[in-house]
Every structure is written in C-alpha cells, then in structure tokens.
C-alpha cells in the first residue's frame, strides 16, 4: 500500500505569503502534518507530487519520515494532472494492483483512526472508496447572489481524502475521464463504478480560507 499527496498548487484562496502547503501549523508545515497522517502502517512509501520548480521542499526537515518519503517533481497544472503524473512516476515502485491513498496536502488534521477505518472498509472492495461526511447543513442553490431554491440533502455527502483506489484502476480512470475531475472518485465514477463511502470526521477539514488555518492550528495543538 502506498500514499500519494499532490502538492504542486499555490493555494491562493488561503491568502498566505508562501504556497499554502508550506504554511506553518503547530510548529511544522501543513504538508508535514498531511504526510504524517498517511505515513502509517501498512503504507510503504508516501509520494509527494511537487511543482517542477518547487524550491521550498528541500529547505524543510523531513527526516522524521526516513526513506518512506519520496518527492516527485512532476506536478501539473491541476490536481488531476498532478495525481496522474505522480502515479506514472511512481509505477517503478508500485504494481497496478497496489492500493494508493490519495490525500490532500491541505488536510493536515486527518486522524489515524479515520485512515484505519478507510483501509479496513476498502481493502477487500472491488472498487475502493473515500472518506466523506453526510451533508448536515441546509443546502441552497444560488443565482445572482440570491437563493434560487433549496436542495434536498438526503443522500448527499461531502467528499474528503484520503481516497483509496488500485493504482492501475486510478491511472486508467484519470486518462479516460472527460470534463471536470475535482477528485479521484469522480474519475473512477466515469468508468461506471461506484466507490464506497466511508464516514470520516469533521476534524479532517480542508484548509481553504484564511480562517481555516486557525481551526487547523487549534485541532493540532489540542492533539499535541
């Protein structure tokens, strides 16, 4: 089993002076915490997909992860391209049938119990699956900044990461996918497959806006 973290973006919405994945959180970078979360048994290696011109990664101390951490300087213009390029580059170390946990660099608060629950639910599954949360809030449709209707939230889930698929299946799905691919599951769905939904945690938030940094810091400090 392997992990892959696309980390080639700039994260401009978080309004940080440096690429979001390197923003400091609880004494480490956000990326360090994301790597730690998926660098657990039975994961053999964590591949971090970086921009080809990333000069920041090498300035950080990653020694805690030993030789299990493998940087790949082949990131693309989108998440889809980065994951695809990372899988291609990592196939020298993986087999097509190996499981891959694809995790967001911007989800530093993933808990070990959630990772274990995902693996246990999907390791014998024919397709794979993702961590996700049922929608709890009322969902509104918008038009011109006004409410255009209320969406029935029954059966709606918010996708999280990691998303767990066989390397060969995911690579094929990404190559075949058409239209927007905002996560790995959406590419697999286009093959007519139905990934499993595994309930995650609200603490596994995605740092997107400036205020999310404070929430993530509080969660990590409490755990420490």
Domains along the chain?
2-223 (3.90.550.10)
Residue (of 17, 191, 160, 171) closest to 82 by Cα position: 171
Q: Can you tell me which residue has the tokens 């400036």?
A: 210
Tally the C-alpha atoms within 13 A of residue 172's C-alpha that lie toward its C-beta: 14
Residue 187 near residue 127, CB atoms below 8 Å: no
pLDDT tens sequence for the chain (224 residues): 999 999 998 654 444 578 999 999 999 999 999 999 999 999 999 999 999 999 999 999 999 999 999 999 999 999 999 999 999 999 999 999 999 999 999 999 999 999 999 999 999 999 999 999 999 999 999 999 999 999 999 999 999 999 999 999 999 999 999 998 999 999 999 999 999 999 999 999 999 999 999 999 999 999 98
CB atoms < 10 A from the CB of 114, how many? Answer: 20
Question: Beta 146-151 vs 139-143: how paired, if at all?
Answer: antiparallel
User: Closest by alpha carbon to 90, among 59, 111, 119, 68?
Assistant: 68
CA 100-104-110 angle, 5° bins: 90
- Kindly state the tokens that stand for 107: 């989800």
The answer to whether 131 touches 161, Cβ cutoff 8 Å, is: yes
Of 217, 200, 112, 114, give the one whose Cα is nearest residue 159: 200
Q: Could you give the 3-state DSSP secondary structure of residue 57?
A: helix
Cβ contacts of residue 201 below 8 Å, gap of 6+? Answer: 111, 113, 114, 133
**Count of CB atoms situated within 10 Å of the CB of 58:** 9
What DSSP character marks residue 168? H
- Give the predicted TM-score (pTM) of the model: 0.95
């Amino acid at each position: 089993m392997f992990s892959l973290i696309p980390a080639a973006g700039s994260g401009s919405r978080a309004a940080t002076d440096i690429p979001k994945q390197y923003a400091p959180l609880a004494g480490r970078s956000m990326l360090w915490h994301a790597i730690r979360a998926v660098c657990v048994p039975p994961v053999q290696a964590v591949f971090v997909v970086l921009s080809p011109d990333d000069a920041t990664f090498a300035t950080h101390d990653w020694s805690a992860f030993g030789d299990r951490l493998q940087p790949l300087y082949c990131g693309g213009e989108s998440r889809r391209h980065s994951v695809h390029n990372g899988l291609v580059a990592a196939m020298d170390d993986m087999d097509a049938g190996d499981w891959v946990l694809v995790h967001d660099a911007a989800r530093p608060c993933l808990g070990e119990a959630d990772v274990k629950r995902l693996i246990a639910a999907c390791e014998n599954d024919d397709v794979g699956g993702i961590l996700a949360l049922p929608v709890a809030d009322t969902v509104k449709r918008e038009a011109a900044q006004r409410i255009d209707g209320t969406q029935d939230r029954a059966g709606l889930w918010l996708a999280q990461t990691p998303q767990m698929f066989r390397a060969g299946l995911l690579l094929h799905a990404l190559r075949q996918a058409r239209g927007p691919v905002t996560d790995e599951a959406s590419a697999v769905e286009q093959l007519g497959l139905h990934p499993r939904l595994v309930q995650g945690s609200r603490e596994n938030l995605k740092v997107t806006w400036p205020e999310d940094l404070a929430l993530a810091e509080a969660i990590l400090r409490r755990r420490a």
